[in-house]
Amino acid sequence: MKLIKIDQQNWNTGIEKAKSAYRVFGPVKEKNDYEFKVLGTNEMPDLNFRNTRLSPKSIIYPQSQVMFTYSIDETKDDCRIMKEVENVTSPMAIIGVRPCDALSFPIVRRNFDTPEYQDTYWIKAYEATTFVGLACNSACDTCFCTSAGTGPFGEKGLDVLIIKDGDDFYTKIITPKGEAFAESAGWGKKEQTDITAKIKELKTAAEASVSSTVSTDKLKNKTILDLYDAPFWEEEAFACINCGTCTYVCPTCWCFDVQDETHGKSGIRMRNWDSCMFPLFTHHASGHNPRNNKHERVRQRFMHKLKYYVDKYDSGIQCVGCGRCIRLCPVNIDIRKICDKMNNFDTESCKCEATSS
Amino acid sequence: MSKPNPRLIKMKEYTEKIREIAKRLLNDGIVDMVIGFRKGTLPMMNQPHIATCTDSADELMWDSNCGLNLANYVTDRKEKIGIVAKGCDSRNLVTHVIENKIKRDQLYIIGIPCSGMIDHHKITAMFDTDITSVKESGESITISGNDFSKKLIKQDVLCENCAACTHRNPVEYDELVADLVEEQTDVDPYESVTEIESMDAEEKWNYFEDLISPCIRCYACRNACPLCYCPTCFVDESTPQWVGKSQDPIDVRTFHLLRAFHCAGRCTDCGACERVCPMGIKIREFTKKLNKDCLELYGWEAGLSLDERPPLDTFKTDDPDEFIK
């Protein structure tokens, strides 16, 4: 790992230089909020954001993605043959990824890149991307990254971590991919400097600013069915309107639906983000729906993130603590509250309560 | 000691009165549940809440952050329900009764004379850092964060629909939590519609394209709307599939336009759709135009009477148009 210090001038020229080798994405203010966009010539990432409204998930995994094309013209030899669309991704760099969002990529990778199955669309985009993170000097009230396996200076999932201190950019080059990016930005030859103490100081202050915590320590030892049958689901789900906000704004939600769209004699097969909040998500062709009720769908979302994933991968929760679902849920369903309820759920005390009432 | 502010007491009194009525209704077995709001985990975010016992009735509360429409939570329910309803909620309850989504005698309507809800999107956008508390006191709202505190006038930060609302009092109720408030008369709910009407076709097209461009199709607007109770929404139909599922602008546009037309003559402009939109889209620009048309063409505003059916499901033999006879 190499540690260098870059001033504003070098930062600007570096980002501009990198654009010749990478498609560079960065946060840009759009209307009232920040979104990740491809940066044009002389366009700089706007680092005054706290976090973007949506995570950078869609850069690697677009909301709608065409995978195949086909023809239904019977006179043609390739009628009804699925042809894979060109799937070559040129190098990309995302500047300003917050450490919480950075952690989401290794989490999502567990789904898209397994020994048995490799999702070529996701993997190619992921492998072509260099993640240049931006440490958070102060956390939002809804951030609970330190309870979710990372922190405001977390490095997991990042190739480079930038720590902003006034006009200076302290740059930690973490991986060979990060080194290549620094090289193309012209920062490669910069002398390593000793700013460790300063970074440590900033990191300690940033970590202290995370005011929100959740406990996840007891989730793994709970019995699935106890949690599944817990009495709080119906009450907690009452307010839910079953929209897709929480899942679409979540950096770690990876579910998609495959659709064919035919126009005239030709068509496309694509995938679109799907949401376990939607009744259609589990609607069987037979007409049966195993999650027909709202509380079953709400339970699924939290059980997947906080129990099934925990049990399957033994690597923490499927949540990075970015707090987007808390801020944007229209009816204030708060994952911190649900997580605490699950973590502290005690079957025995619940039984007593039920008997005594 | 200074005199307590009358409006401050009012909000607290609303809360106390709601709890008192809810407990009485539950204890006397008049209702099986009371639907209202409880305090949320974030400032300006209260949560719809179902109270079935006196303990959970004590969680019920009221302030200027109860902008969701609770009529949405009674659709097709079979129980006897006590429901807290401000002007717009009550109009949607009336619409629900007319459309057979609930029976009037299943409902015990706890009427809230409303002084408007505050716009959390607007307030959030005013500050660069987190808002940690929002306190109401009379006509003013104090917004505080870790290193700031700012006093705003409530009237300046009302939701747009509330600022121009002419039905703040519930139109149908069994009991009121307070005296009726004075209705606003000098407001124009259709100001922005008139502006859009004056644009040429291309400007209108660009305006609406820009309006819905951030849409992620989460359907929060639809799902927060008490009118959207179709067993299967047209966008969810799969046999046949009417609308594509991707981010294709044609499909996104189709969703917004068709949804608005499904609400024509039924929308009460409660603003729930805008309140819930995670992308901050001004969805009411569609429905307001249809509300204005219904008012101008039929002298109709939705949900004001249990005895009159909405214009688009009514036929009159004295209709001035020949083609329909």
A257/B245 CB distance under 8 A: yes
SS3 of A334, please?
coil
A243/B223 CB distance under 8 A: yes
Which chain A residues are Cβ-neighbours of B236 within 8 angstroms? 278-280
Q: Please tell me which of the candidates B73, B216, B223 has its beta carbon nearest to residue A63.
A: B216
Q: Quote the ipTM score.
A: 0.93
> How are the residues of chain B apportioned to helix, strand and coil, as percentages rounded to the nearest 5?
35, 15, 50
Could you say which DSSP state residue B104 is in?
Answer: G
Mean pLDDT along residues B24-39: 98
Q: Confirm if A44 and A38 have CB atoms less than 8 A apart.
A: no
Q: What is the pLDDT of residues B143-179, one digit of tens each?
A: 999 889 999 999 999 999 999 999 999 999 999 999 9
Residue A193: its pLDDT value, please?
Answer: 77
SS3 of A23, please?
strand
Q: In chain B, which ranges are E strands? A: 33-42, 45-51, 60-61, 81-85, 107-111, 133-137, 140-144, 149-153, 175-176
Interchain contact A165–B (C-beta under 8 A)? no
Q: Confirm if B120 and B65 have CB atoms less than 8 A apart.
A: yes
CA distances from B319 to B264, B313, B316, B324 (A): 19, 13, 5, 8
At residue A350 the predicted structure's pLDDT band, cuts being 50, 70 and 90, is: low
Residue B4: its pLDDT value, please?
Answer: 46
Q: Regarding predicted confidence, which is higher, A356 or B5?
A: B5
Query: How many angstroms away from the CA of A138 is the closest CA of chain B?
Result: 10
At residue A353 the predicted structure's pLDDT band, cuts being 50, 70 and 90, is: very low
Mean pLDDT along residues A271-285: 94
Residues A228 and A327 in one domain: yes
Residue A188: its pLDDT value, please?
Answer: 81
Q: Backbone phi, then psi, for A271, in 5-degree steps?
A: -120, 145
Domain C-terminal end among A176, A208, A240:
A208
Residues A197 and A48 in one domain: yes
Which chain B residues are Cβ-neighbours of A50 within 8 angstroms? 128-129
Instruction: Give the global pTM.
Output: 0.94
Query: How many angstroms away from the CA of B177 is the closest CA of chain A?
Result: 23
Q: Confirm if B165 and B188 have CB atoms less than 8 A apart.
A: no
Q: Inform me whether the pLDDT recorded for B320 exceeds 90.
A: no
Residues A184 and A110 in one domain: yes
Residues A351 and A324 in one domain: yes
CA angle, residues B79, B83, B85, in degrees to nearest 5: 150
Residues A242 and A106 in one domain: no
Q: Confirm if A181 and A18 have CB atoms less than 8 A apart.
A: yes
At residue A354 the predicted structure's pLDDT band, cuts being 50, 70 and 90, is: very low
Residues A202 and A228 in one domain: no
Strand bridging mode B107-111 / B175-176? parallel
Domains in chain A: how many in total?
A: 2
**Size of the A and B interface in Cβ pairs below 8 Å:** 103
Q: What is the pLDDT of residues A138-164, one digit of tens each?
A: 999 999 999 999 999 999 999 999 999
Q: Confirm whether A216 is domain-assigned.
A: no
Q: What is the pLDDT of residues A290-348, one digit of tens each?
A: 999 999 999 999 999 999 999 999 999 999 999 999 999 999 999 999 999 999 998 77
Domain C-terminal end among A157, A177, A208:
A208
Q: Name the residue in chain B with its Cα closest to that of A328.
A: B278
Residues A285 and A136 in one domain: no
Q: Confirm whether A105 is domain-assigned.
A: yes
Give the structural domain span for A153. Answer: 2-208
The rounded radius of gyration (Å) of the Cα atoms in chain B is 21
Interchain contact A19–B (C-beta under 8 A)? no
Residue with tokens 């889209």: B281
A142/B42 CB distance under 8 A: yes
Q: Confirm whether A236 is domain-assigned.
A: yes
Mean pLDDT along residues A65-80: 96
Q: Please tell me which of the candidates B132, B216, B224 has its beta carbon nearest to residue A241.
A: B224
Q: What is the pLDDT of residues A236-246, one digit of tens each?
A: 999 999 999 99
Strand bridging mode A64-71 / B140-144? unpaired
Q: Give the Cα separation of B276 and B220 in Å (integer).
A: 6
Hey, what amino acid is at B155?
Q
Q: Inform me whether the pLDDT recorded for B8 exceeds 90.
A: no
Which chain A residues are Cβ-neighbours of B245 within 8 angstroms? 64, 257, 259, 272
Residues A180 and A301 in one domain: no
A54/B246 CB distance under 8 A: no
Q: What is the pLDDT of residues B119-135, one digit of tens each?
A: 999 999 999 889 999 99
Interface test with A, best of B32, B35, B37, B41 (most A CBs within 10 A): B41
Q: Inform me whether the pLDDT recorded for A1 exceeds 60.
A: yes
Residues A171 and A278 in one domain: no
Residue with tokens 């993640």: A131
Q: Confirm whether A351 is domain-assigned.
A: yes
Residues A347 and A320 in one domain: yes
Residue A30: its pLDDT value, please?
Answer: 87
Query: How many angstroms away from the CA of A233 is the closest CA of chain B?
Result: 13
Residue B315: its pLDDT value, please?
Answer: 83
Residue B9: its pLDDT value, please?
Answer: 55
Domain C-terminal end among A149, A176, A208:
A208
Q: Name the residue in chain B with its Cα closest to that of A64.
A: B246
Residues A31 and A100 in one domain: yes
Hey, what amino acid is at B286?
F
Q: Give the Cα separation of B217 and A276 in Å (integer).
A: 14
Residue A352: its pLDDT value, please?
Answer: 45
At residue A355 the predicted structure's pLDDT band, cuts being 50, 70 and 90, is: very low
Instruction: Give the Cβ contact number of residue B104 at 10 Å.
Output: 14
In sequence order, what are the residues at sequence separation of 6 or more whose Cβ sits closer than 8 angstroms to the Cβ of residue B298? B265, B311
Query: How many angstroms away from the CA of A129 is the closest CA of chain B?
Result: 23
Q: Confirm whether A215 is domain-assigned.
A: no
Q: Confirm whether A102 is domain-assigned.
A: yes
CA distances from B29 to A168, B23, B52, B110, B194 (A): 67, 10, 11, 16, 50
Q: Please tell me which of the candidates A242, A328, A334 has its beta carbon nearest to residue B223.
A: A242
In sequence order, what are the residues at sequence separation of 6 or more whose Cβ sits closer than 8 angstroms to the Cβ of residue B143? B123, B126, B127, B131, B133, B134, B149, B150, B151, B152
Q: What is the pLDDT of residues B47-71, one digit of tens each?
A: 999 999 999 999 999 999 999 999 9
Q: Confirm whether A264 is domain-assigned.
A: yes
At residue B1 the predicted structure's pLDDT band, cuts being 50, 70 and 90, is: very low
Q: Confirm whether A316 is domain-assigned.
A: yes
Contacts 24+ apart (CB under 8 A), A348-356: A350/A230, A350/A231, A354/A231
Query: How many angstroms away from the CA of A179 is the closest CA of chain B?
Result: 34
In sequence order, what are the residues at sequence separation of 6 or more whose Cβ sits closer than 8 angstroms to the Cβ of residue A119? A111, A112, A113
Mean pLDDT along residues B221-247: 93
- How much of chain A exceeds pLDDT 90, in percent? 91
Instruction: Give the Cβ contact number of residue A41 at 10 Å.
Output: 6
Residues A108 and A252 in one domain: no
Q: What is the pLDDT of residues B267-318, one digit of tens each?
A: 999 999 999 999 999 999 999 999 999 999 999 999 999 999 898 888 888 8
A333/B42 CB distance under 8 A: no
At residue A116 the predicted structure's pLDDT band, cuts being 50, 70 and 90, is: very high
B218/A141 CB distance under 8 A: no
Residue A34: its pLDDT value, please?
Answer: 95
